[in-house]
Chains A and B, each alone.
Chain A
Amino acid sequence: MTRQTAPISALSRPTITFGLLLGMFVVLPAVLQALGISFSLGTEILIIALFAMSYNILLGTTGLASFGHAAFFGSGAYAVGIAQNYGIDGAATGLAVAFAAGLCAALLVGLLVMKKRGIYFGLLTLAFGQMFYIVALRWDGLTGGETGLTGLRRPAPFGLNLNDQLTFYYFILAIFMVALWVIWRITHSPFGSLLAAIKSNELRTQYLGYDTARYKLAAMAISGALSGLAGGLYAWFQYAAYPQNLFWIESGNIVILTLLGGGLSSFFGPILGAAVFVGAQDLISSYTEHWMFFFGLIFILVVTAFPNGLPEALARFASVLRRSSGSASEPASSAHVAPARGTAP
């Protein structure tokens, strides 16, 4: 392998990073407003970032490339919608239902694919993901078929009016920060260190007495549950659950933006990937409907030149700037990627 990630225990000031992230996301609505962009762009970035962070428990931490993760995201979205149609409302129950749906879906798929490796694992997750899509498409009575479940309501926790875009944004931000802390804690726990060992060398991990399939299944379950949670938030966000939320293109998007953000070597990278992806989608699609073509170009350029994604690109760019200007000041835009693991040039 080429350059490797820094050791998991060598965390560079996670508290500072968390503070910076929180600060940036707190002021993001003001920036969006100044640019004349809807707050909902920020909300979407947060939800997709949570999805990507959850996905990266599997890809970046455990080294398993799942190509069917939209199944878990979509399961969460549909679970919230179906629950509402059965009269189950409320923020806490909605979150619990979405989490549980993602968990169950991931356990189901995980039990079937966990013994497979590499490309077989990837292709099987892709196939199972598409089965969820087909079920959602055909089971009209439950899922609304092709139209999906529309007209969903946002909950009103503590009497908050979440139909107000700004309030909703901060509601999502609160959940995002808690979930992010949970993911960080799990990644940097004894369990997380085992996942890192499996990523590094699965056979050797077995020769330490570990039933690695179990650990991989547990990683899949946690990743799926949190993806489901993100999906539930997304159902509230779009007031709907659509079959597209389960579709393999969505699975592909999450792989792409996680890689773009440098998820293989950077813990916080997927957040950057999500911001760039959602932002680019919004920006480019206002000029051309072929936005994916241009985004694809960006993706190819970044990952071929910088295998560790945008954080590496920004770090290189910053070091070039520093050298040419002779000052030690760093561009503010790279502040939140600097402390991520393994991003040093």
Chain B
Amino acid sequence: MSSLKTENLSVQFGAVKPVDDVSVEIAAGRLTSIIGPNGAGKTSFFNLLTGLYQPTRGKVFFDGQDVTRMPVHQKVRAGLTRTFQILNVFDTLTVEENIRAAVQRRHGRSAYLFCAPDRHGPVEDELSAVIERVRLQEKRKVRACDLSHGHRRHLEIGLSLATRPKTLLLDEPMSGLGMYESSVMGEFVRELAQELTVVLVEHHMSVVLSISDTILVLSQGRLLASGTPAEIQASPLVQAAYLGTGRYDLPQERAAHA
């Protein structure tokens, strides 16, 4: 059973083809990672999957349904959402206001004009659970712009989780985190994959290789290889294009994202 499927997915901006003829199936309930050098088209691929870009060619299926032309918000309602590589939270709102904005939609509260936003028990219970889940209990009343980078990463994921996705696309959730924080984040992602389908774009190779069920390798917009971590590590093609010889953490790329 596949969660996401693409057929000949392509997008072109002028002469540039960030994603070029990619056909993949992403298995439901698994953790699939997408790796590839900078500019390989990983984020563009996410943008196509979630509807931020319209493909010039090809199709996207989610849970067997053709969602190619579906706008972003409808895909989110169907259970497909993402996080962003460049942090994308509500900077001017507090942590709980951030999460509440996400939670109140499913409770049909967002059209209420004449009551306070924070007095509805079910919404408050659920937002507390999400905040606990992403370990931000201590920071509930702190505005997002005043959080540390690591906490903002947590909030970013919390926002996406609060939409109750079936499939969650994580765009470099470890970018800018230190070694220890990254391994904690890796465990957290692994935990998430017990409950939902996770697609992970990440540069931390050691983490990716240790937690993924399947790895897709993109290079210059095209699908270069796919397989289990062991297969990918062993593939001479991938080694030449990306992994190098035995260096799983590419220091220059990590530095570029720090």
Contact = CB atoms under 8 A, between A and B. Distances in A.
A194 interface: yes
A250 B174 CA distance: 51
Given A189-B112, A190-B110, A201-B89, A208 B50 contact: no
B241 interface: no
Contacts of B118: 9
Contacts of A203: 52, 88
A101 interface: no
B105 interface: yes
Interface of A: 1, 4-5, 7-9, 185-186, 188-194, 196-197, 199-201, 203-212, 215, 218
B60 interface: no
A208 B92 contact: no
A215 B71 CA distance: 16
**Size band of the interface chain B makes with A:** 35 or more
A197 B100 CA distance: 10
Nearest to B107: A190
B91 A1 contact: yes
Interface of B: 50, 52, 71-73, 76-77, 81-82, 84, 88-94, 97, 100-102, 104-106, 109-118, 120, 141, 143, 145, 159-160, 162-163
A5 B106 CA distance: 27
A209 B92 contact: no
Contacts of A200: 90-93
A137 B29 CA distance: 65
B110 A207 contact: no
Nearest to A205: B101
Top 4 nearest A-B pairs (CB, nearest first) are A209-B76, A200-B90, A190-B117, A197-B101
A254 to B, nearest CB: 23
Contacts of A201: 88-91
B23 to A, nearest CB: 25
A9 to B, nearest CB: 6
18 contacts: A7-B92, A7-B93, A9-B94, A9-B97, A186-B114, A189-B114, A189-B115, A190-B104, A190-B109, A193-B97, A193-B100, A193-B104, A197-B90, A201-B91, A205-B101, A207-B160, A208-B162, A210-B110
B94 A7 contact: yes
A210 B73 contact: yes
Contacts of B145: 4
Main secondary structure of the interface of A (DSSP, over half): helix
A7 B159 CA distance: 17
A4 B94 CA distance: 12
A4 B115 contact: no
B182 to A, nearest CB: 24
A325 B39 CA distance: 61
B72 A4 contact: no
A190 B115 contact: yes
Contacts of B163: 207-209
Contacts of B116: 9, 188-189
A191 B97 contact: no
A118 B120 CA distance: 34
Contacts of B52: 203
A196 B115 contact: no
B113 A208 contact: no
Contacts of B115: 189-190
Contact of B110 (A1, A5, A194): A194
Contacts of A7: 92-94, 97, 141, 143
Given A204-B159, A207-B159, A208-B162, 8 more contacts: A1-B92, A7-B94, A7-B97, A9-B97, A190-B104, A207-B76, A209-B105, A212-B73
B77 A209 contact: yes
Contacts of B100: 193
A201 B160 CA distance: 14
A196 B120 CA distance: 19
Given A201-B90, A208-B101, A210-B110, A189 B117 contact: yes
Contacts of A210: 73, 105, 110
A207 B72 contact: yes
Nearest to B102: A208
Contacts of B101: 193-194, 197, 205, 208
B169 to A, nearest CB: 10
A76 to B, nearest CB: 20
